[in-house]
Each structure stands twice: as C-alpha cells, then as structure tokens.
Amino acid sequence: MNIIKNLYIHERFFIYISTIAAIFLISFWITILYTVAWLLLLILIVLFVFDLILLFRFKNGIKARRLLPEKFSNSDENPVPITLSNNYPFKTYLKIVDELPAQFQKRDFDYETAVEQSGTHNFEYQVKPVERGEYHFGNLNVYVSSALQMIAKRYRFDASQMVAVYPSYIQMRKYEFLAMNNRLTEFGLKKIRRIGHTMEFEQIKNYVPGDDVRTINWKATAKRAQLMVNQYQDEKSQPIYSIIDLGRVMKMPFEELKLLDYAINSTLAFSNIALLKNDKAGMLAFSKKVDTIIPASNKRTHINVLNEALYNIDTQFTDSDYGYLYATIKRKITHRSLLILYTNFEHISALKRQLPFLKAIAKQHLLVTVFFENTELDELITENVEDLQSVYHKTIAEKFVYEKRLIVKELENRGVHAILTKPQQLTVNVINKYLEFKAKGFI
C-alpha cells in the first residue's frame, strides 16, 4: 500500500508512451513499424519494472531536512535552508516541493536538482512574511528518480513545523549598526551642550567658587553658618515612549504591509537605538482604551519585553479615544518624556478633533506625532492627464497631499512636533528625529 501511495509517474514516461503510440499509428501505412512498436513497448515495460525495483528496494534512499529558525522577521526576506542526502548507490534526480504556510499563498513551489551517489546538496529559498503570528509549514516532499526517469518515489519529511513571525529584528540590527556609525543623522546637525542642572537631587555640599548661586540651600547655610548648596545629578537616562494607535486608521496597507506593522517595526528599531544611547524605552498601545503599557526601562534585556509585547498587538476597527490616552499618560507617565505617537490623519478635520488632547500632552511632554504620506497618490499626481475624469482624479489627489502638509503646519503651530513620512522611510525618519533631539539637547 505504501508503494502505491508513494509511486508517481514521471512526466518523461508519458513522452515515451506518446512516442510509441505515434509509431503504432504510423505503422498503419508502414507495416514494418508495427513490430518495432511492440518491441519498444516491451522494452518500456521491462525498464519500468526495473526502475520500480531500483527505487523502492531502498527504504531510506533519500534524507532531507528543513532548517527553520525559531522566528522570522516580518517584512524581510528570511532564508529557509534545506539539506539533501543521497543514500542510493547511483546518481538521483530530485524534485522538491515544500508545503509553505497558507499566509504566503504560494502554490507553485518547485526546485529540481541532481545529487551524485552518496552525495549531499544544500540550497535555500527566501520567504517574506507580511503579517505577524504563527506560520505552519507542512511536509517537505522529495520526489526521487533514477537516470531512466520513468517513475518517481516520494519521500516526506519535517511535517508540521511552526515558526513565529516577530517584528522586524533584521531592520533593528541594520539601523543599530548605522546609528552607531552616525550614518543616519542628517547633515548640519551640531551637538549643543546645555548649561544648567537637572531636578534629580543628589546631596548638599559646601559652596565652592563657581557653583550656581541659585542652588544655595539657605536653611542648611543657617544651620552650618557657611554657604551650602544643593548638588544635582545629571539625568543620563531619559524616558522615551512609543505610542501606537491601534484604531482603524492603522489598518491601511501599503506594499502588502499594514501601517500598524510599519509602526511596530519602527518601534522595535527605535527602542533599540534608545537603549544603546542609555535612555529608557517604553511602549504604549491604545484604541478605545489603553491595551498595552510597558514602563520605560534602560535594561538591555528590556528589548525582549518590548518585542514580545509588539508581537501580540493588532489593529481594531474602532476610532481611537485620545481623551483616554491623555488621562492614562497623565496618570502613568509622571516624568517629562519623549513621546513618539504613531497614528494617521487623512484630512484636517480628523486632526482638529484630537488637537486639544495633543496640545495637552505636549504641555507636559516632548510629543512627536508621526503620520503617513499616501504613496498610492503619487502615481495619480505625476501622470499626464488626457481627459476630464483624469483631471478630477489628479486634482483630488493633490488636495489630499496638500492637506497632509497643512496638518504638519497646524501641529507645529500648536507646539507639537510632527513627522510626515512615507511608510518605507518611517524607521529612519523617526531615528533621525530622535538623534536630532539628542544633539540639540531637547532630551
């Protein structure tokens, strides 16, 4: 029964049969070919049986293994290596069909190769996931044929393997390298040394010439009968929060990836840079309520906590409640922090509904609102119009682009920093803004 299940007729066998059938047909006019056709058919049957015995006499003629990592990087090309070993005492011809997860919607996977006697062959293919979650691989099917290539024997390996797709750790490592080499910062930035002190009290000490007279502690001075000053320690670790809008505006896809996933990938890479710069990184995700809040920390292992939290969040089909967000920030984030808010505004009226809450947040924290350009409109704007309907489409597209610029101006006029970016350039623009603030001493 196993022989029947694993036996497949090779496509070359049908070529042989078709050729013999053609000779039988021609023998109707050329009689001598009739005998030749029967002789060829007999040879074909003998070779078929011989090929069958040759392939099925070995139980473990082929070994194959799919080497899957523990996790894939979302929106990146991930390699999947496969190792093949030939235990047959002759050269084999292999056809590999891997059962990929349903998320890839790929039904034409096909790889062919030949492996020498007792030889091995390694190859890899690339997969690009565009959704986070669990990806289940099916069987790795290997169809082996001899040099006759009349039949193929199927081997099945590595059934039911699962890989979790996490936010893009490949991009995180890439931007980490670039940021550490200062290749991401914009030209013309100059680091500014701010003179002053922070509000983190350290100790009371004797006054020495050069100390800031504003820090004199008059009560301690009266007790000791000599000038005493308060000493403050420098705040090297500033709290930085990435705030992700989970509302329906983040469901919009660009190049198969949702805006939410662009924001998640950016949050992971940006948080990693902040930790390397000795700042505290945290995260907050909200919609109708605050679904996830990770307090800021500067521990190097904190990036794993953020990664797990980002893996589990998803968009919701509701309008986000910025009032609830403001109340949560006021209650949970007590120190002045840098807040990176990932959201999207398609028109000015959407902004004006939320502007009072953004202004209130900006009074207590350094707020940067990040929203997205609609890159799908670029083609409409740049194309040459030839009819009235195309003129309408181009005009409406230009109106949407203009409103995005108005939103930036409106935010900046109200004291809220803004980043208008293409989804593909989101991560580098956010990191650049953070490094700019660090250089100018804003944080």
DSSP classification of residue 258: E
- Residue carrying the six token digits 């662009």: 262
Q: Are 330 and 364 in contact (CB under 8 A)?
A: yes
Mean pLDDT is lowest, of 72-76, 131-135, 373-377, for 373-377
Q: What is the mean pLDDT of residues 252-274?
A: 91
pLDDT band at 210 (very low <50, low <70, confident <90, very high): confident
Within 10 A of 102 (CB to CB), how many other CB atoms are there?
Answer: 10
Q: Which residues in 116-184 belong to E strands, given as ranges? A: 120-127, 133-137, 140-145, 151-157, 161-166
pLDDT of residue 146: 92
The pLDDT score that the predictor gives to residue 187 is: 42
Give the contacts of 59 (CB within 8 A, at least 6 positions apart): none
User: Domain 169-191+235-440 class?
Assistant: alpha beta
d(CA 303, CA 358): 27
Q: What is the pLDDT of residues 312-343, one digit of tens each?
A: 888 778 889 999 999 999 999 988 899 999 99
pLDDT of residue 66: 93
Q: Is the pLDDT of residue 216 over 60?
A: yes
Q: What average pLDDT does the chain have? A: 88
Under CATH, which number does the domain 1-166 receive? Answer: 2.60.40.10
Contacts (Cβ under 8 Å, ≥6 apart) of 249: 259, 320, 343, 344, 345, 346, 350
Q: Where are the alpha helices (DSSP H) in 342-422?
A: 348-364, 377-382, 388-413
Residue ranges covered by each domain of the chain: 1-166, 169-191+235-440, 200-233
Residue 233, pLDDT score: 57
Pairing of strands 253-254, 71-73: unpaired
Question: Is the separation of the CB atoms in 415 and 359 below 8 Å?
Answer: yes
Question: In terms of Cα–Cα distance, which of 65, 133, 135 is closest to 106?
Answer: 135
DSSP 319-355: ---HHHHHHHHHHH--S--EEEEE---SSHHHHHHHH
Alpha-carbon torsion 405, 411, 413, 417, what sign?
Answer: negative
User: Model confidence over 83-112: pLDDT tens digits?
Assistant: 999 999 999 999 999 999 999 988 888 899
| pLDDT exceeds 80 at position 196 | no
Mean pLDDT value across residues 297-308: 91
pLDDT at residue 185, rounded to an integer: 52
Mean pLDDT, range 144-173, rounded to an integer: 91
**Are the C-beta atoms of 73 and 168 separated by less than 8 Å?**
yes
User: With 90 as the cut, is the pLDDT of residue 180 above it?
Assistant: no
pLDDT in the model for residue 194: 47
- Judge whether 123 and 98 are in contact, CB under 8 Å: no
Which pLDDT band holds residue 377 (cuts at 50, 70, 90)?
A: confident
Residues in contact with 255: Cβ distance below 8 Å, sequence separation at least 6, in sequence order: 423, 424
- Nearest CA to 279 out of 315, 316, 236 is that of 236
Phi then psi for residue 140, to 5 deg, are -95, 110
Query: Which tens digits make up the pLDDT trace of 388-441?
Result: 888 888 888 888 889 999 999 999 999 899 999 999 999 989 998 998 888 777
Confidence check: pLDDT of 142 > 50: yes
> By the 8 A CB rule, do 35 and 43 touch?
no
Mean pLDDT, residues 342-357 taken together: 91
Q: Which residue has the higher pLDDT, 197 or 407?
A: 407
R_g (Cα) of the chain, nearest Å: 33
**Residues counted in the chain:** 443
Its pTM stands at 0.81
